[in-house]
Amino acid sequence: MRPAKMAGPDKPRRGDGPGTAVITRTKPQTKRPSLYRVLLLNDDYTPMEFVVHVLERFFNKNREEANRIMLHVHHHGVGECGVFTYEVAETKVTQVMDFARKHQHPLQCVMEKK
């Protein structure tokens, strides 16, 4: 008497003939990256035209949209410039802050998870 062979992941089960094996592939589940809102904060010293320039330069806003966002920041204290992945949002915040400091404005730019 011979011992029965165990069916394993690479061995056919008893009764399975050649060509009847089923191969399954699992698809890796890709997760969407977290998104972050980039926000400008109002202050009493940064000129409105400078804020419009920042929105046009770093967030690719046209003049009309940049003015709308700037007025929203002015009236509500905070305004959203865009929504980005973490790395892009972080880069934009750094660019805006560096640009504001270089031009001696106290403009604040922050990011928050959406």
pLDDT for 78-96, tens place per residue?
A: 999 999 999 999 999 999 9
Show the low-confidence residues of the chain (pLDDT under 70): 1-19
pLDDT of residue 15: 54
Query: CA-CA distance, 53 to 34, in Å (whole number)?
Result: 28
pLDDT of residue 105: 98
Please state the pTM of the whole predicted model: 0.75
pLDDT of residue 20: 72
Residue 49 has phi, psi (to 5 degrees) of -65, -35
Query: CA-CA distance, 35 to 114, in Å (whole number)?
Result: 6
pLDDT of residue 18: 66
pLDDT of residue 8: 54
pLDDT of residue 19: 67
- List the structure tokens of 26: 């699992």
